[in-house]
Amino acid sequence: MRKHSQCVVLVARLLLLLLVTLLVAACGREAPPRAAKSTPFPTSAPTHPAQLAQSSQPADTAQATGDPRALGDPNAPITVIEYSDYQCPYCSTFVHETKSQLEEQYIKTGKVYFVYRDFPLVDIHPAALLATHVANCAAAQGSFWPMHDRLFAGTWAREWGSGGERDFKLFLGYAQDLKLDVAAIQSCVEAQWYAFQVDTDMRQAAQRGVRSTPTFLVNGRPFVGAQPYDAWKQVLDDLLAHQ
């Protein structure tokens, strides 16, 4: 009886530890309001034809059209959709510690198709929406992933976070460093060409039960938080073994 009680206590402690780990590995617990309500720039629908065409693509059907926010083979047996926030430290942890390993072992080898989607937690991250617009405007110049990586490097180094003009100037500096058309990035952000796309991402995330970042849908199943590479490997290898 005593051993049984000790086992019950041990299991309870392990479950509590797991719960705590999940809570500290992700940002936010509730879905944020619509993107347009918290932007530092005037609200407008996307007006550029290229942005209108892209913004109407659903999160998991855009692969056929060469989605600039995706990596890998669209025909891979596993599709991972990430809902992320550029100001979320746990999202930055995933990029800094895990993403490159996933790219080398699963994305570049044709096993995983990786799709990025926006879920800026505007209630707690004042600069997240601005960064989201900058990244999407960089996508119009074929540089979504370089800007994505640069923004998260800035998060990791705590270079920005207020959401004000200082951050915007810093982001334009990132664009210059990446040899992008800085004036075009500025105009794109200020006109909010991607407002509808961001709003669509957030609505789809809410419909799928996403409440924190980073949240991943692995072949439609949620995988929440900045999980270590070993946890990813276990999940992905198990799916691949049952294909």
Q: Per the structure block, which two tokens stand in for 200?
A: 């669509």
Specify if 206 maps to a domain: yes
Q: What is the pLDDT of residues 144-167, one digit of tens each?
A: 999 999 999 999 999 999 999 999
Q: What is the pLDDT of residue 155?
A: 96
Average pLDDT estimate for 214-242: 97
Q: What is the mean pLDDT of the chain?
A: 83
Specify if 234 maps to a domain: yes
What's the order of all strands across the beta sheet hosting 215-218?
70-71, 112-118, 78-84, 215-218, 221-224
Q: What is the extent of the structural domain holding 84? A: 70-241
**Other residues' Cβ atoms within 10 Å of the Cβ of residue 189:** 26
Specify if 88 maps to a domain: yes
Specify if 24 maps to a domain: no
Structural domain tally of the chain? Answer: 1
SS3 145: helix
Strands 78-84 and 112-118: parallel
Report the C-alpha gap between 81 and 178 in whole angstroms: 26
The helix, strand and coil proportions of the chain, stated in percent and rounded to the nearest 5, come to 55, 10, 35
Specify if 50 maps to a domain: no
Q: Can you give the CATH number for the domain in which 202 is found?
A: 3.40.30.10
Average pLDDT estimate for 44-72: 56
When pLDDT is cut at 50, 70 and 90, the band that residue 65 belongs to is low
- Percent of the chain past pLDDT 70, that is, above it, reads 74
pLDDT of residue 199 exceeding 80? yes
Q: What is the pLDDT of residues 114-138, one digit of tens each?
A: 999 999 999 999 999 999 999 999 9
Specify if 213 maps to a domain: yes
Specify if 16 maps to a domain: no
